[in-house]
Amino acid sequence: MRRRLAAPLVTAAFAVAAALLPAATVHAAPADKAAVLSSWTQTSASSYTAFSAARADRGAWSAYGFDWSTDYCTTSPDNPFGFPFASACARHDFGYRNYHAAGTFDANKSRLDDALYADLKRVCATYSGLKKSSCDATAWTYYQAVDKLGS
């Protein structure tokens, strides 16, 4: 009889203790990590802005365990012909590294490459005339490289 009562009482005690623990002791990051990662790797300017703000304050996101490392544009120039592509490449690296770590890279690669291209086109939109045409062509070349060769 004692054993039958003891198990439910222990289970109830653990449930009460868990409910009373402060929220700070609960590690909720993994459940939210995929949503945060997705929100920072969309093609929109607002997604890029949110990623940039988070990258500037990485400590605030440390519980998520994101890989912030980057080699920028890998073996391609980070600022080809003076066009500042490095930040777009850093976000692209962030997406590649973190989706690889999550085991969902293949399902997200196309969007990550599209986001890089959108970021590069936003850089090019700040130019006009021949300089813009040159930037657009360079952005297209970078996009084609990651689309075909990125892994």
Query: Is the pLDDT confidence value at 28 over 60?
Result: no
Residue 32 structure tokens: 């939210």
pLDDT at 27: 42
Is residue 40, in this structure, part of any structural domain at all? yes
Q: Whole-angstrom Cα distance, residue 149 to residue 151? A: 6
Active site residues: 92
Range of the domain at 43: 28-149
CATH no. for residue 127?
Answer: 1.20.90.10
Q: Whole-angstrom Cα distance, residue 40 to residue 47? A: 5
Is residue 73, in this structure, part of any structural domain at all? yes
Is residue 122, in this structure, part of any structural domain at all? yes
Is residue 39, in this structure, part of any structural domain at all? yes
Q: Give tens-digit pLDDT for 45-98.
A: 999 999 999 999 999 999 999 999 999 999 999 999 999 999 999 999 999 999
pLDDT at 133: 98
pLDDT at 31: 64
Q: Whole-angstrom Cα distance, residue 98 to residue 101? A: 5
Q: Give tens-digit pLDDT for 108-141.
A: 999 999 999 999 999 999 999 999 999 999 999 9
Query: Is the pLDDT confidence value at 14 over 80?
Result: no
Using the 8-state DSSP alphabet, how is residue 120 labeled?
Answer: H
The closest alpha carbon to 150, from 78, 85, 75, 80, belongs to: 75
Whole-model pTM over 0.85 = no
Buried-state track 53-70, b at ≥16 Cβ within 10 A, e below 16? ebbeeeeebeebebeeeb
Is residue 13, in this structure, part of any structural domain at all? no
Q: Which pLDDT band holds residue 30 (cuts at 50, 70, 90)?
A: low
